Amino acid sequence: MIKPFAITLKPGTSLSNLTGTWRTERPVYLDRLPPCNNACPAGENIQGWLYHAESGDYEQAWRMLVEENPFPAVMGRVCYHPCEDQCNRGKLDSPVGINSVERFLGDEAIRRGWKFSEPPDSSGKKVLIVGAGPSGLSAAYHLARMGHGVEIQEAGPMAGGMMRFGIPKYRLPRDVLDAEVKRILDLGVRLRLNSRVENISASMQGFDAAFLAVGAHIAKRAFIPAGDAAHVVDAVSLLHSMEGEERPMLGRRVVVYGGGNTAIDVARTARRLGATDAIIVYRRTREKMPAHDFEVEEALQEGVMIKWLSAIRQADEGQLTVEKMVLDDKGMPQPTGEFEKMEADTLVLALGQDVDLTLLEGVPNLEIRNGTVQVSGNMMTGFPGLFAGGDMVMSERSVTVAAGHGKKAARHIDAYLRGAAYEPHSKHELADFGKLNTWYYSDADKTVRPMLDIIRRQTSFDEVQGGLNESNALFEARRCMSCGNCFECDNCYGVCPDNAVIKLGPGKRFKFNYDYCKGCGLCAAECPCGAIKMVPEEI
Amino acid sequence: MLKQIEGSKAVAEAVALCRPEVICAYPISPQTHIVEALGEMVKSERLAPCEYINVESEFAAMSVSIGASAAGARAYTATASQGLLFMTEAVYNAAGLGLPIVMTVANRAIGAPINIWNDHSDSLSQRDSGWMQLFAENNQEAVDLHIQAFRLAEELSMPIMVCMDGYILTHAFERVDIPSQEEVDAYLPSFEPRQVLDPSEPISIGAMVGPEAFMEVKYLAHAKQMQAIERIPQLASEFRSAFGRESGGLVRTYRMEDAETVIVAMGSVIGTIKDVVDEMRDEGHRIGVLTIVSYRPFPLEQVRGALQHCKRFLVLEKSLAVGMGGIVATDVRMAVTGAGLRGYTAIAGLGGRPIFKAQLHQLFSQAEKDELPQVTFLDLDWEAVNRQQERERQTRRSGPVAENILHDKGIVSAKFG
Amino acid sequence: MGFQPIKFYQTGTYTVGNRLLSPDQRSVQAAESRSNSINSGHRACQGCGEALGARYAIDAAMAESHNRLIAVNATGCLEVFSTPYPESSWQVPWIHSVFGNAPAVATGIAAAMKVKGKTDVRVVAQGGDGGTTDIGFGCLSGMFERNDDVLYICYDNQAYMNTGVQRSSATPPAARTATTMPVGPEPGNPFGQGKNLPEIAMAHGIPYVATATVADLRDLEYKVRRAMRMRGARYIHLFVPCPLGWGTASHDTIRIARLAKESGLFPVFEAEHGEVRSVLKIRRKVRVEEYLMPQKRFAHLFGSHPHPEMVIRIQEIADRNIRKYGLLDEEEAA
Ligand SMILES: Cc1cc2nc3c(=O)[nH]c(=O)nc-3n(C[C@H](O)[C@H](O)[C@H](O)COP(=O)(O)OP(=O)(O)OC[C@H]3O[C@@H](n4cnc5c(N)ncnc54)[C@H](O)[C@@H]3O)c2cc1C
Ligand SMILES: Cc1ncc(C[n+]2csc(CCOP(=O)(O)OP(=O)(O)O)c2C)c(N)n1
Ligand code: SF4
Ligand code: SF4
Ligand code: SF4
Ligand SMILES: [Mg+2]
């Protein structure tokens, strides 16, 4: 066709007009740090594994998860999920049920028998780990996966630490714990049970490094004058004895003194052991209580009673003397001089635990503060090659923190063994709520996990909280907004009036075509998750 | 086939023989009978395949034709007068886009005052629109010109108006030879558009063109019409061999041998002029006639060639460039620039004013004697004009001109004394 | 039955695409293979809603017609920025004739296609609000009345943008344009009765009329595709913010469109044969201020000499739309 001059044009010829020259700002893709990832004490790439879970690829999700933490089934039950507290979705409707998806993945892995990938060839190095709690096991796992020889020496008869001898079964069924521990041991980790380390300097001989994770097991005592016949026990020993053959005898009325999660666990255990009354006595108020809200709530549902603003002053047979307290302006409890009597067959003291540091005697250059071992940023104590983590160092005491310490220590030990220093990745900018365009997320409330019926909760040690099934796990995973990281929603590709966004194909994300991008900023404004930023063009 | 038939019907038959694919029109006298007849043919499926679209305005009629033509369909419409003006923007556009639309203009005066009768001011107002304009002398030629017009338009990719005098031709019953379908098919090949809107070969038609290429675009349109100057006589002679009739061409001469005075005109008035010229020839006057068939393109050379041996010419035209004089005359004078001829203009027949032989006789005689002013208004009622002018000199609000004049002429009685 | 949202909780139906959707549930715009009917290199302003809306709409029409589409364009920004000699951005067969005749040109093309038996080739005509509600209105109404097989899309940016932002009959009350300056006792465009073209279109009883915005791509694509599956005259009125004419940030184009809908000022609905069939409910209702304030064309309503009474009148318009079209869910409206 000899088309008329000028007035008829060839199609698509405007490509020769490079409108990129109009730009004063350019869009760039970036990855931001999602707040959940930022909040995870174990450093999990939560958003990363949710990404796979969203597409129903649970194995991939699980594999990504266990890159950081070998205990998803445990975490999915006992972790206090600070990630969810930080989840941006909480500002929209309710946080993503990260923890429940994690549990689903953990359970799925157990059910399907997924194994860790084989560790690489041995490095020839040997690391001693003291204590088979979450911290020790986590360190063992990571070191083993780096090819190092690992031996755990554990004082107790079974692995798990407080996960086994503290956390009650109704929150963490032991078959779940066993399965996840076994999977670690299957990596070739040597576990020596009933092997208390008395002196670390001696035990470390023959090892290239050691990681201490002995926890905090010495019950704190409060001075309470007690009559000879008074039945007073400490929480840790009580819970520990739950793992034995014989059930402890507590009586009809059990009083627990303390306000932490341990106190709650003890009271709930007492109910299950047949106590008609399980009463927590706490010196301050509910707001001040260190125990997590949801645990208090569950305890109350099960009939546990809590006596606020009360201090136990005297324990006698079958009876306690309690003083009423008031809070001063600093929120500290102050005595009032008002006393009352309380019936109690058993008094359980749940006042916290101290670390048993005897095995460290004679180790040079150690710093002990507030009864904990001081470690530097790389988890190493003052003594070269001796690392420590978990409850025995100064930090929040939780399974997740302990596991995180284990991982962190492992990375530094690995570097130490190679005579190098471990450089963590620099953190991306935080993907805070303001970076999101939440219009694009449809309204979807969090899935509530099923709970065991109340009668069985009061009479058995069956697991209280159920898990998600595949369909609601998928739903929950898909509630993730992928804060700060492109999830291939195609918005930028769609909204650019200049077709200046190139779609690279599934999994490959997008690229800007700066030849035509006019820098209008629509792509950045309409990216739901804040994965695009406008930067001034150098003119 | 010879038929005693109304001009409009004859044209409708001719158009139908050209197998238009999209017809679209808006009614305006004196065009109505043409499109009514075509409408019936389409409705009865005598003309098929064809889409007949009743639009809401002439602007739409031309626009629909533009769309149809750009999409590769043979498109036809017809209009007149106000209708042509109403579609003006689209008229220019069709030409600018080079779309070979054929349109019949049933020539009619332009208001105000509104007037349904014949003159040429409507199509002449579109002189510079880029359309070619062919004027029919009689209904036979009107029929024939349509057939030629489709061929020429499509060959060059330029639209054509076939102009025929409203009422005088459109409503006249004459014997007309309507060719057969086979004859027309043989003469007029099917439409092969230069460019077409086609999803398998996309193009963008109607770009915005700036100073850098606008002149060239315009020149190319002009050049096409120059090309038409060559093609029109060729097509006419082809037509003659095919149909055995003289029709079309750029210009036609009549009794021009040794003529000293030549009357130049377009359209049906030629018939009357020829009669008068015949009479005057019989009386021994050396007078002839030059018919302009193709007003656009304007055949400057052919006009000059025809006139160069005469002494004077008189352009008799049914149009007026207000404030200037003749419209056709201007072009004719341009054609004979430097030839040393005396030229006169006669404005005649505006708004359907009848042109009588006697008036022409007198006019031509005056011309021969060089007694004419530059511009003559044939049959103008000077008395009425003068009285109105007098009134206007006296009072600012002298009342409606038309009514005053009619009053003066005694056609209506005065309302206020 | 209106637009069916896809049950998908991460982003629902709101994003352009999503890797997790099955390909048939993805939007046309999400596809690498979309036709990019208007290609890069066009000269629309940064963030032009009309450029975006046109690609959205025409790409969808292309998809539905299996690329058998011819487009007609009225004079206006879209035409000017897409086809200045010597370059065209269009990848579809396209014609521009004049300002006021796009519907009729389209009729002619449709007639040509019909007569040639190419009924698979579909025709779309498009124009700005001026080209549609004002100068092209006669041709549009004629096309509707004859029920010609044309989908007409109006890109409503509420003024004559191409000539420098003058008022059109689609300019909203109080808006500043070059011919309705914010001066005098009632600054900006006077409060009139408005000219509701979608409803006028509905009054023609044509098979399909719909409104949409560039903020809701899926709804728009659904409507274009639906319209393309029908024959006869169809009309889509697409709300396209103009950063230049409205004095908005180029990155706000979609947000502003969203606010227009969420405030109730621009009701989004579809109608068949003159009857409203579905409305797109307001999802997160906002007051009109939220829509008005980011736009400089309404700056005189706020600022140091505010006109709260005019804002109230605008809110009344929104509330009337909400009542009239039932834009809120029952519970919220109560
Ligand atoms: C009742 C209770 C409930 C809890 N609930 C939760 C919960 O729901 N969620 C949560 O995140 N955290 C909870 N915690 C806290 C959590 O259990 C601990 O923070 C965590 O287990 C600490 O891990 P760790 O590895 O540092 O120490 P531990 O788990 O205490 O493990 C230390 C291990 O070292 C062994 N060991 C000690 N001394 C020696 C030695 N000299 N030689 C060899 N081995 C030795 C111990 O036998 C033990 O197995 C709870 C704690 C208690 C007490
Ligand atoms: C008959 C005619 N009158 C006026 C113009 C000038 N003109 C060209 S585009 C335009 C404004 C177009 O406004 P609109 O249709 O709303 O489209 P927009 O540019 O806003 O997208 C005007 C007035 C013209 N081209 N033709
Ligand atoms: S808009 Fe969507 S596709 Fe584009 S970067 Fe953001 S998340 Fe990724
Ligand atoms: S939307 Fe397109 S033109 Fe605008 S900044 Fe993004 S890539 Fe550039
Ligand atoms: S003036 Fe408005 S409609 Fe025109 S190109 Fe610019 S942003 Fe688009
Ligand atoms: Mg506009």
Other beta carbons within 10 Å of A307: 17
As a CATH number, domain A126-217+355-417 is 3.50.50.60
For ligand 2, atom 2, the nearest C-alpha belongs to: C99
According to CATH, the topology of domain A5-31+486-536 is Alpha-Beta Plaits (3.30.70)
B362 half-sphere exposure, CB direction, 13 A CA radius: 8
Residue B404, pLDDT score: 74
What distance in Å separates the CA atoms of residue B110 and residue B125, rounded to the nearest whole number? 9
**C272 is a domain residue:** yes
- Tell me which of 3.40.50.920, 3.40.50.300, 3.30.450.20, 1.20.1740.10 is the CATH number of domain B251-377: 3.40.50.920
Q: How many CA atoms lie within 13 A of B54 on its CB side?
A: 10
Three-class DSSP labels, A230-247? CCEEEHHHHHHHCCCCCC
Using CB atoms, pick whichever of A6, A18, A494 lies closest to residue C16.
Answer: A494
- How close, in Å, is residue B92 to chain C by CA atoms? 10
Burial (CB count <10 Å: 0-12, 13-18, 19+), residue B37: buried
User: Which residue of A6, A8, A11 is in closest CB contact with B216?
Assistant: A6
Mean pLDDT within C218-233: 97
Contacts of A515 in chain C (CB under 8 A): 40
DSSP string, B5-71: EEHHHHHHHHHHHT--SEEEE---TTTHHHHHHHHHHHHTTSS-S-EEEE-SSHHHHHHHHHHHHHT
A141 contacts A188 by C-beta, under 8 angstroms = no
Q: Which parts of B122-172 are beta strand (E)?
A: 132-135, 160-165
Instruction: Determine the residue type at B276.
Output: V
Q: Which residue has the higher pLDDT, B51 or A456?
A: B51
- Taking residues B14-18, report their average pLDDT: 98
Q: How confident is the model at residue C6 (pLDDT cuts 50, 70, 90)?
A: very low
Domains B2-243 and B251-377 share a fold: yes
Predicted confidence band of residue C11 (pLDDT cuts 50, 70, 90)? low
Mean pLDDT to the nearest integer, A326-349: 94
- Mean pLDDT for C37-64 is 98
Mean pLDDT calculated for residue range A476-497: 94
CA nearest ligand 2 atom 20, residue: C161
Lowest average pLDDT, out of A144-153, B154-163, B254-263, C184-193, goes to C184-193
Q: Beta partners for A33?
A: A430
Residue contact C108–B57, C-beta within 8 A = no
Phi/psi class of residue B267: alpha, beta or left (left: φ > 0; alpha: ψ in -120 to 50)?
A: left
Which residues have CB under 8 Å from B261's CB, separation 6+?
B285, B286, B287, B288, B310, B311, B312, B313, B314, B364, B367, B368
- Residue C101 CA to residue C318 CA, distance in Å, equals 32
**Interacting residues of C275 by C-beta distance below 8 A, sequence separation 6+:** C202
pLDDT, greater one: A226 or C175: C175
- Mean pLDDT calculated for residue range A141-170: 96
Answer yes or no: is pLDDT of A39 > 50.
yes
Which residue has its alpha carbon closest to ligand 1 atom 13? A398
Ligand 4 atom nearest to CA at A518: 3
Please determine, for residue B245, whether its predicted confidence score (pLDDT) is greater than 60: yes
Say how many CB pairs under 8 Å bridge A and C: 176
Torsions phi, psi for B294 (to 5 deg) = -100, 105
Residue A462 pLDDT class (50, 70, 90 cuts): confident
Name residues whose C-beta falls within 8 Å of residue C261's C-beta, 6 or more positions apart in sequence. C213, C215, C216, C239, C267, C268, C280, C282
Lowest mean pLDDT among A53-62, B10-19, C76-85: A53-62
C-beta separation of B168 from B174 below 8 A: no
- The protein residue with its alpha carbon nearest to ligand 1, atom 18, reads A398
Helix (H) or strand (E) holding A256: strand A253-257
Strand (E) or helix (H) holding A150: strand A149-153
Domain spans of chain B, in order of start: 2-243, 251-377, 382-416
What residue of A is the nearest CA neighbor of B211? A6
Q: Does A15 contact B at CB distance below 8 Å? A: no
Atom of ligand 5 nearest to the CA of C165: 1
For residue A3, what pLDDT is reported? Answer: 83
Given a cut of 60, whether residue B416 has pLDDT beyond it is no
Range of the domain at C221: 32-333
State whether the beta carbon of A490 lies less than 6 angstroms from ligand 3.
yes
Distance of CA B275 to the CA centre of its chain: 21
Mutation test residue for ligand 4: of A517, A535, A537, the one with most atoms within 8 Å of CB: A517
- The pLDDT of C187-194, averaged and rounded, is 92
Residue predicted with more confidence, B290 or A229: B290
Exposed / middle / buried, residue C199 (Cβ in 10 Å: 0-12, 13-18, 19+): middle
- How far off is chain A from B194, nearest CA to CA, in Å? 6
Percentage of chain B modeled with pLDDT above 70: 98
Average confidence (pLDDT) over A7-30: 97
Judge whether residue A228 has pLDDT over 90.
no
Assigned fold of A37-114+451-477: Fumarate Reductase Iron-sulfur Protein; Chain B, domain 2 (1.10.1060)
* Average pLDDT of every residue of chain A: 94
Three-state DSSP string of chain C: CCCCCCCCCCCCCCCCCCCCCCHHHCCHHHCCCCCCCECCCCCCCCCCHHHHHHHHHHHHHHHHCCCCEEEEECCCHHHHHHCECCCCCECCCEEECCCCCHHHHHHHHHHHHHHCCCCCCEEEEEEEHHHHHHCCHHHHHHHHHHCCCCEEEEEECCCECCCCCECCCCCCCCCCECCECCCCCCCCCCCCCCCCHHHHHHHCCCCEEEEEECCCHHHHHHHHHHHHHCCCCEEEEEECCCHHHHCCCHHHHHHHHHHHHHHCCCCCEEEECCEEEEECCCCCCCCHHHHHCCCHHHHHHCCCCCCHHHHHHHHHHHHHHHHHHCCCCHHHHC
**Is the pLDDT at C3 greater than 70, yes or no?**
no
Strands A8-9 and B204-205: antiparallel
Ligand 5 contacts CB of residue C243 (under 6 A): yes
What does residue C294 show for φ and ψ, rounded to 5 degrees?
Answer: -70, 0
Domains A5-31+486-536 and A126-217+355-417 share a fold: no
Phi/psi at B24 (5° precision) = -155, 130
- Select the CATH number that applies to the domain covering A222-353 from these four: 3.40.50.150, 2.60.120.380, 2.40.50.180, 3.50.50.60: 3.50.50.60
* CATH topology classification for B2-243: Rossmann fold (3.40.50)
Per-residue b or e along B88-116, where b marks 16 or more CB atoms closer than 10 Å to that residue's CB: ebbbbbbbbbbbbbbbbbbbbbbeeeebb
Tell me which chain C residue has its CA closest to the CA of residue B206.
C96
Between B315 and C9, residue with greater pLDDT: B315
Q: Ligand 1 within 6 A of A155 CB?
A: yes
User: Is A411 in contact with A422 (CB distance < 8 Å)?
Assistant: yes
pLDDT at C10 over 70: no
What mean pLDDT comes out for the span A196-204? 95
The whole-angstrom distance between A12's CA and the closest CA on chain B is 9
Which pLDDT band holds residue B414 (cuts at 50, 70, 90)? very low
Q: Which residues contact A131 (CB under 8 A, 6 or more apart)?
A: A152, A153, A154, A155, A161, A212, A213, A214, A215, A390
Q: How many CA atoms lie within 13 A of B354 on its CB side?
A: 3
Q: How far is the centre of ligand 6, averaged over its atoms, from the C-alpha of C149 (Å)?
A: 24
Q: How many domains is chain C built from? A: 1
* pTM of the predicted protein model: 0.92
Confidence of residue B208 (pLDDT cuts 50, 70, 90): very high
Phi then psi for residue A91, to 5 deg, are -85, -10
Q: At B237, is the secondary structure helix, strand, or coil? A: helix
Confidence band, pLDDT 50/70/90 cuts, at residue A224: confident
Domain holding C56: CATH number? 3.40.50.970
Question: What ipTM was assigned to the predicted interfaces of this complex?
Answer: 0.95
Mean local confidence (pLDDT), A299-304 = 94
pLDDT of residue B367: 97
Of B383, B375, B7, which Cα lies nearest the Cα of B165? B7
pLDDT at B205 over 90: yes
Q: What is the pLDDT of residues B161-203, one digit of tens each?
A: 999 999 999 999 999 999 999 999 999 999 999 999 999 999 9
d(CA C2, CA C19): 25
CA pair distance B20, B104, nearest whole angstrom: 13
Q: Which residue of A has its CA nearest to C23?
A: A506
**Using 50, 70 and 90 to split pLDDT, how confident is the model at C5?**
very low
Checking if the pLDDT of C1 tops 60, the result is no
Provide the strand spans (E) within A403-466: none
Q: Where are the alpha helices (DSSP H) in A418-480?
A: 454-459, 470-477
Name, in order, each residue with C-beta under 8 angstroms of B165's C-beta and a sequence gap of 6 or more.
Answer: B106, B107, B118, B136, B267, B268, B269, B318
Best mutation site among C161, C254, C296, C297 for ligand 5 pocket (most ligand atoms within 8 Å of CB): C161
How many CB atoms sit inside 10 A of residue B63's CB? 35
What percentage of chain C has pLDDT greater than the value 70? 95
Cα A316-A320-A325 angle, rounded to 5 deg: 145
Q: Which segments of A328-414 are extended strands (E)? A: 333-343, 346-349, 353-354, 368-369, 372-373, 386-388
Give the pLDDT confidence of A504-533 residue by residue, as tens digits.
998 899 999 999 999 999 999 999 999 999
Q: What does the angle CA B214 – CA B215 – CA B220 come to, to the nearest 5 degrees?
A: 100
Q: Which of C18, C51, C255 lies at the smallest CB-CB distance from A489?
A: C18
Residue C268 confidence (pLDDT): 98
CB pairs < 8 Å spanning B and C: 170
* Residue B411, pLDDT score: 64
Q: What is the pLDDT of residue C21?
A: 80
Neighboring chain C residues of B51 at a CB cutoff of 8 Å: 111-112, 114-115
Q: How many angstroms separate the alpha carbon of residue C212 from the centre of ligand 2?
A: 22
A36-40, A292-296, A408-412, C43-47: which range is least confident on average?
A292-296
Q: How far is A486 from chain C (nearest CA, A)?
A: 11
* Residue B201 per-residue DSSP state: S
Q: Which residues contact A419 (CB under 8 A, 6 or more apart)?
A: none
Q: Please, are residues C80 and C48 in contact by the beta-carbon 8 Å criterion? A: no
What is the enclosing helix (H) or strand (E) of A126? strand A126-130
Contact C46 A439 (CB under 8 A): no
Instruction: Please indicate if any CB of chain B lies within 8 Å of the CB of C109.
Output: yes
Is-cis flag, bond preceding C60, omega within 30? no
**How many angstroms separate the first and last alpha carbons of chain A?**
44
C272: Cα separation from own chain's centroid: 18
CB proximity A49 to C under 8 Å: no
Q: Where are the domains of chain A?
A: 5-31+486-536, 37-114+451-477, 126-217+355-417, 222-353
What is the band of B413 on the pLDDT scale with cuts at 50, 70, 90?
A: low
